[in-house]
Structure 1
């Protein structure tokens, strides 16, 4: 009898606790939902521009520079453990389009579910997954306040709390599931909607989700930025651009071909190259191309890996040529007269408008991975 009375008290306390917790987290639930709703609605509803007299959903039009997948090409250099899947996706038109629509619809469903409190726990669980994916892909980015990392860790913590609490009285779950006692007939219903859950399960979940949120925050911060058990150092620099260069291949006519990859830097800008030179192993200059020569590079001189209108690319500019973060290309500098060289080694040097200098690896002539 005593055991039954204690169980009843636990059950009553748990129900009241859920109701209060859901009310406390009402603002948190709405904000997290609105973040996802905002991302989906900008693409589906609000960001339409007139192009040649026709309205286009800019972020969902594959042939327009504003296509949302552009963010993927920017993100590849610093993505955690998912660079290969992203690059594979970017190599297949249909897969890019499918991925963009699946992500958009997932954001729409999660956003509406959290804001209106419909199938709340399932929406919160998916929200955790989306925020983890955001961390893996974009967590390294953010040239001001670690923007993407902050959004991802905050989203995981917020969604975890909403998953535990449910949506309470101010939600559609309360109207369609809790008040109809659907959970009494099907015990799994509260796990995807709202309402009381077994007290012991909630206590265990609260501990594990808290540990997970703490680990996710600290470990991702340490991996991406250091400053936990090591000095502050970004795994991938998001303040200054860097260009990785393969060894140059020198043709008989004096043209020079190399692979270039902008593997660091802010996605909001580009690296601007205003001079290039070819050196031998002793550092003697064999050939030099100024900004005018680089600006005159034709379409066949720059073979971008991703030729889409929206993708990160190298392209000629008035002062030379530029490369956005994530751009990969095979570039051929025009033929020129080469000076006599000391030894077989050839080193390519690119100079940027901000005085940054990048050198190729010596020897080999192999393309970048």
Structure 2
């Protein structure tokens, strides 16, 4: 009865990863084509909210194309192969462990995303628990593991087959199995509840939108400075928001900090006419660029932006403030250093 009951779980877990891999290798190969809008763009959107230092790993890979491409191909291949193995019930426990690893990586990198709910976290946490269940229980009924065992009963004596396959119980005593099962259960509880609390609260703290908002774009501004020729240079990083939509900057202003008086304004038209050289993007995928409605950027984009020289001359002594306004009327500011 337990073997029959697990069939739907094994199939669903397998199909999720089989579908992810085949979409890239078979049905949507453009996702692996570096000449187009490939997986690197999606990968970069995960960077702002990635946990446990994986944001630095993503940044490193984005700067090293060969390693990035190998990583995307390897991840997709593991998804497809592990998914097929689960569907077929072939080396089921090995495939289940692979699915646990994939779920963990997805949780760390993409778990914060989801504009209305934490969609990526929900999928990854469910897959994490399903992988543990399949590792402990094995393939259940109607599996290639069972077929191989019937064809070669000697496999049943092989420790490696007992641990990697799924047609037999794990080679543990009842007490050992209970300890392992409970240990994996508590790992699941801590991991799933802990990440949920971090992303949304609602455990021991009130609900919150997450340290990194998956719905509202946020722009971090830094290193703003007026150059000798009167141009304004600053660094911008779109470090929050939904990756489904870009953010649009409609207006940038230079203000006197003391009284808030606007010294210079770069309106939508001026921003839309900025040349490509005005944007020194850190990454070749999600980028800041001029658009007919000002400046556009996708989540994860980071760039040094240089604005045309300030017309008001000579500039009085500072301090000055940079103010950036988006199409949603969101405003971000940063102090501006004196003329360099």
TM bin, normalised by shorter chain, reads over 0.9
Q: Shift of residue 25 of structure 1? A: 1.0
Mark the runs of 5 or more structure 1 residues left unpaired by the alignment.
1-19, 48-56
Cα 1:250–1:352 shift into 2, 3 Å: same
Q: Summarize deviations over 1:183-214 as a string: whole Å, max 9, x none.
A: 44322311100112233332112111111111
In the other structure, the counterpart of 2:289 is 315
Residue of structure 1 aligned with 2:7, choices 11, 26, 38: 26
Q: What is the SS of the residue equivalent to 1:275?
A: strand
In the other structure, the counterpart of 2:224 is 248
Corresponding pairs, count: 334
Query: Superposition pairs for residues 175-254 of structure 1, below 5 Å?
Result: 175-177=147-149, 180-194=152-166, 195-197=168-170, 198=172, 199-233=174-208, 234-254=210-230
Residue of structure 2 aligned with 1:73, choices 44, 47, 62: 44
How many Å separate the matches in 2 of 1:236 and 1:328? 16
Cα 1:182–1:226 shift into 2, 3 Å: farther
Residue of structure 2 aligned with 1:298, choices 260, 275, 283: 275
In the other structure, the counterpart of 2:109 is 137
TM-score, normalised by the number of residues in structure 1: 0.87
**Counterpart contact for 2:156–2:162, Cα < 8 Å:** no
How many Å separate the matches in 1 of 2:235 and 2:262? 20
How many Å separate the matches in 2 of 1:145 and 1:90? 28
How many Å separate the matches in 2 of 1:112 and 1:364? 61
Q: What is the SS of the residue equivalent to 1:29?
A: helix
How many Å separate the matches in 2 of 1:215 and 1:284? 52
Please, what is the CA RMSD of the aligned residues?
Answer: 1.8
In the other structure, the counterpart of 2:95 is 123
How many Å separate the matches in 2 of 1:182 and 1:217? 39
Mark the runs of 5 or more structure 2 residues left unpaired by the alignment.
none
Larger radius of gyration: 1
**Counterpart contact for 2:50–2:109, Cα < 8 Å:** yes
Q: What is the SS of the residue equivalent to 2:39?
A: coil
Q: Shift of residue 343 of structure 1? A: 4.0
Q: Shift of residue 365 of structure 1? A: 9.9
Cα 1:104–1:364 shift into 2, 3 Å: farther
TM-score, normalised by the number of residues in structure 2: 0.94
How many Å separate the matches in 2 of 1:347 and 1:181? 77
Q: Summarize deviations over 1:97-118 as a string: whole Å, max 9, x none.
A: 1001110111011100100000
**Counterpart contact for 2:225–2:337, Cα < 8 Å:** no
